[in-house]
């Protein structure tokens, strides 16, 4: 079973999506389940995981409504304010919905490199496991040391690194990024998504083989049982179409065993998120 572990839906509004700037004209429109479903079906995907792109509870409600009315959306990674003293009440409210599989905060935009080490944020993270919720870590390479400390602090909590932590795909692998990825890979409670790579290329120009050294690093760190494919659609459209994004990962996996390819392309997402 093929599952896209990472994509987004939105009704575009400039105030709610300020990160979509004027250089991203292709993203300045609505992207809804009916736009994605034919792309998934054409490539043999059984479903997907919808991930928040806006830090609001309204976003979580919107995604859960999408999933309730479109069965191909197998789960939702939403948002609640993990730094709020009343986070337990909000998790009580949302946690009763079986379609909510995880929580994400857009940590990459936090100016404090140690945001995830704040006591209030960690208190919120500590509330997730009783609800069976995963946590998606969205960071840049400079925020990986805090990610390592967080994952070590909560060994019973399931974490996944989104987009390989967004290393610049320039052909020059940063040894610090590699070191930190290896440290995360040594922790059994951490997974990693093969996603978001095409938008980290210079001027969105790339060849498939440009990504292979980066995927080598995460494959060696996490192994085929803790990696999962994600398209990052529609953000990927800045640099590549849906089919091209899948072809990058599928092309890389051709040298692996069929069972390992099946794990990365869907089975690991099912296991990690409990789909």
The mean pLDDT value for 79-101 works out to 95
- Domain boundary assignment for the chain: 2-273
170 pLDDT higher than 90: yes
The mean pLDDT value for 77-103 works out to 95
Find, among 247, 173, 254, 187, the residue nearest to 223 by Cα.
Answer: 187
pLDDT of residue 71: 97
Average pLDDT, the chain: 97
The CATH number of 2-273 is 3.20.20.140
Summarised one tens digit per residue, pLDDT across range 196-216 is 999 999 999 999 999 999 999
pLDDT of residue 16: 87
Distance of CA 191 to the CA centre of its chain: 10
pLDDT of residue 231: 98
Summarised one tens digit per residue, pLDDT across range 12-40 is 998 888 889 888 999 999 999 999 999 99
CA 267 to CA 269: how far, in whole Å? 5
Find, among 57, 51, 53, 60, the residue nearest to 18 by Cα.
Answer: 53
pLDDT of residue 15: 87
With contact defined as beta carbons under 8 Å apart, do 234 and 270 qualify?
Answer: no
pLDDT of residue 196: 97
Summarised one tens digit per residue, pLDDT across range 217-254 is 999 999 999 999 999 999 999 999 999 999 999 999 99
The mean pLDDT value for 57-75 works out to 98
CA 127 to CA 137: how far, in whole Å? 16
CA 8 to CA 258: how far, in whole Å? 28
CA 2 to CA 50: how far, in whole Å? 15
Mapped onto helix, strand or coil, the DSSP state of residue 31 is: strand
With contact defined as beta carbons under 8 Å apart, do 188 and 151 qualify?
Answer: no
3 pLDDT higher than 90: yes
Stretch (H or E) spanning 87: helix 87-95
């Amino acid at each position: 079973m093929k599952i896209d572990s990472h994509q987004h839906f939105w009704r575009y509004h400039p105030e709610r999506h300020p990160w979509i700037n004027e250089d991203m004209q292709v993203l300045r429109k609505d992207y809804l389940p009916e736009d994605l479903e034919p792309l998934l079906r054409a490539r043999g995907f059984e479903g997907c995981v919808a991930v928040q792109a806006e830090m609001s509870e309204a976003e979580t409600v919107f995604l859960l409504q999408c999933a309730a009315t479109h069965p191909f959306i197998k789960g939702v990674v939403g948002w609640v304010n993990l730094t709020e003293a009343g986070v337990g009440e909000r998790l009580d409210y949302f946690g009763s919905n079986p379609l909510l599989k995880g929580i994400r905060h857009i940590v990459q935009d936090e100016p404090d490199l140690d945001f995830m080490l704040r006591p209030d944020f960690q208190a919120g993270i500590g509330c997730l496991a009783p609800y069976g919720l995963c946590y998606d870590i969205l960071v840049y390479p400079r925020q990986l040391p805090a990610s390592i400390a967080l994952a070590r602090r909560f060994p019973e909590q399931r974490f996944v690194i989104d987009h390989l932590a967004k290393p610049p795909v320039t052909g020059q692998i940063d040894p610090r990024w590699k070191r930190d990825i290896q440290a995360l890979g040594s922790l059994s409670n951490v997974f990693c998504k093969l996603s978001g790579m095409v938008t980290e290329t210079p001027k969105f120009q790339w060849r498939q083989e440009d990504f292979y050294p980066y995927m080598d690093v995460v494959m060696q760190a996490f192994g085929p049982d803790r990696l999962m494919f994600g398209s990052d659609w529609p953000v990927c459209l800045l640099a590549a179409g849906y089919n091209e994004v899948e072809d990058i990962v599928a092309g890389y996996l051709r040298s692996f065993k069929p069972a390992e390819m099946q794990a990365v392309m869907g089975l690991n997402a099912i296991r990690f998120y409990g789909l």
